[in-house]
Chain A
Amino acid sequence: MSLIEILKEDFVQYALFGSLLIGVLCSILGVYVILKRIVFLGIAVSEVSALGVAIGLFMGISPSLTSLLLTMLAVLVFWIPVKEGSISKESIIGFTYVVAAALSVILIAKNPLAESRGLDLVSGNLLYIQKGDIVVLAVVTVAVALLQVFFFKKFIFVSFDPETANTMGIRSSLYDFLVYLSLGLSVAISMKVGGVLFVFGFLVVPALFGFLIFRRIPLILLGAVVFSVVSSFFGLLVSVRFDWPTSPTILTFAGALFVAAVLIKSVSGALWHD
């Protein structure tokens, strides 16, 4: 099957749209995840979202709804600033990840209908994405992108120095909440089709690429988005062509691309200095 023939298939086109939208969403928010040093929160929220899907399947109600509600609750809890005592916020995030992962496995194992979708929670299944999923993803992507267009500078200021921002007339908690809200919404919507691995991977790898190549945040954002688009497109084609699992293939492709970029940068840097 040629690449053109692959791209003519409806399910491939849907998967492509889905992965591109998830890629764009997660790569934008991934830049904030890295800047705010909340990478671990990214995977914990993804796992909570997976637990939401598992609960929905177990109870026979909409997994999208339960995932959304649980994810937003988790994001709200992690957004609230707390004075750390003997237990750090990071360890609470770790605890949440472990418990959410364990509970998801139990709920899937005890639900014959859900068991067949058990693997999906981890590695997703982009090839089964529906039109409705794409519409929802597109709406959320546009909403998140618009928030960035209007409030990008304020988001960055409150992420960098919330105390000064607040003193100088920027409502830090509001803008910080909007960043967390965008993150929760994006993870919850992406998780159902992409799976934990894909969502977390795209929260981290494209943004890392952006930071590797560029030195200004708008360019880092742009670089991360372009990287996610390229990875999604070629990763998906490779996955369909060789019948490999979709999300892991796209992520492996993204990983290889990132490593190549690191090597090229190192070699060119060394040559430059020589």
Chain B
Amino acid sequence: MARERKETFILGKELIRFNGVSLGYAGKVVLENLNFSIDENDFLGIIGPNGCGKTTILRSITGRISPSAGSIEISRKLRLGYVIQRQFLDEIFPFSVRDVVEMGRYDRLGLFGRLSSEDREVVEESLDMVELRHMMNVPFRSLSGGQKQRVLIARALAFQPELMLLDEPTNDLDIAGENKIMDLIHEIHHKKGLTVVIVSHLLHVILNHVEKLLFIQDHRAVMRSIDKITEDGFISELYGSRVKIGTVGGKKVVIAE
């Protein structure tokens, strides 16, 4: 069986295709037989409990880990913008906000590591997008969790990606912070027409924004469009307890009975 991550020309609107992919670490299988694709302009949420392998899927897309079975086809030269979990970043680094966002342009650095005027423009536009241009000289480590998240999103935008991958961007934020970050991601997807894949363990946070959901449970993945997850019993069966999707003020809410 093929075991590879290959860059290829994929026909149609598909950017990434998982063909019977198994993923794991050190001989231990985390996910089995993944079959799904990510299309242009998708807004996909990957949802599941902590430790189920959501980040592993992102890492297989970025090439950090290879499939133990099956193959991942990726549209050639696809530019991937990555928003890492901010808790993974060490605050000993004395960066300004601008320093962090400029990293999104480092693949284009000229001789002696100089940024061009175009690079600087893109950095400032990215900061505008996340509404933090006025804080560009502020130390990154002094920011709040939500502001840091915005900076990391701006860094990914500065890379000018075709597909943006976000790993738990609302972790450890309060409800207002969660909403602001999700509204920003929503806006980026719609205004820039950017394909977005977001990983979260909180269904209620991403429910009103994403258009498709990939549910991870017991080493397997099930893809559903957002309109179809309200089907009788689907969510309850997935979570192993009585869970309903209701509507309050026009917004979907998750209710555990």
Contact = CB atoms under 8 A, between A and B. Distances in A.
Nearest to B158: A168
Contact of B94 (A153, A159, A167, A220): A220
Contact of B159 (A168, A216, A217, A220): A168
Given A149-B112, A160-B93, A170 B107 contact: yes
Interface string B49-68: 00000000001001110000
B139 A167 contact: no
Q: Interface size for chain B: under 10, 10 to 19, 20 to 34, or 35 or more residues?
A: 20 to 34
Contacts of B80: 167-168
Given A163-B62, A167-B80, A152 B113 contact: yes
A163 B64 CA distance: 8
A203 to B, nearest CB: 16
A163 B26 CA distance: 19
Nearest to A151: B113
Contact of A161 (B64, B84, B139): B84
**Dominant SS among interface residues on chain B:** mixed
**Dominant SS among interface residues on chain A:** helix
Given A34-B92, A164-B84, A220-B94, A83 B103 contact: no
B29 interface: no
Interface string B61-88: 0111000000000000000111110001
B90 interface: yes
B89 interface: yes
A154 B113 CA distance: 8
Given A151-B113, A152-B113, A165 B106 contact: yes
Given A153-B113, A154-B106, A163 B90 contact: no
Interface string A15-45: 0000000000000000000110100000000
A198 B64 CA distance: 39
A160 B64 CA distance: 17
A169 interface: yes
A242 interface: no
A158 B31 CA distance: 28
A168 B93 contact: no
A215 B95 CA distance: 8
Given A150-B113, A160-B95, A168-B81, 17 more contacts: A37-B90, A37-B92, A151-B113, A153-B106, A160-B89, A160-B93, A161-B88, A161-B89, A163-B88, A166-B62, A167-B63, A168-B80, A168-B82, A168-B107, A211-B94, A215-B94, A217-B93
